[in-house]
Amino acid sequence: MLEIGRVCMKIAGRDAGKKGIVIDILDENYVLLDGEVRRRKCNIHHLEPMAQSVELKKNASHADVLKVLGIKEDKKKSTKKKEKAATPRRMRIKKTYAEPKKEKKTAAKKTEAPKKVRAKKK
């Protein structure tokens, strides 16, 4: 039913509704799919085979698959590192401390309440 070069529509998962081509048959339940979908193994129960079939060799490259499907390859994904933008430096906040107030010396009254002692119950 599914052979190498068969165009399929994904019906489950993140890539549902997108076309792909069978690149390799892994076992009786899984195939390697590539195209509009991400190149990865896919359960055959999650695929809807279409009437189209294309001539491709086993494990064809991603560029070959896109060329057969008639899709232009996105050049957006690049492996170049982006330059980091200069982050603004945090300015150190200078704290201004007020001078401590001078306390006036006054005669302190010693009026402490006597402590209550509880008797222990036996």
Q: Is 7 helix (H, G, I), strand (E, B) or coil?
A: strand
Architecture of domain 6-69: Roll (2.30)
Judged against a pLDDT cut of 70, whether residue 39 lies above it is answered with yes
Instruction: Return the domain boundaries, the chain.
Output: 6-69
Task: Say what the pLDDT of residue 105 is.
Answer: 65
| Residues whose CB is less than 8 angstroms from the CB of residue 73 and which lie 6 or more positions away in sequence, other chains included | 62, 63, 66
For the entire predicted model, the pTM comes to 0.58
Average pLDDT over every residue of 23-29: 93
Task: Say what the pLDDT of residue 109 is.
Answer: 59
Are 73 and 34 spatial neighbours (Cβ–Cβ below 8 Å)?
Answer: no
Average pLDDT over every residue of 13-35: 92
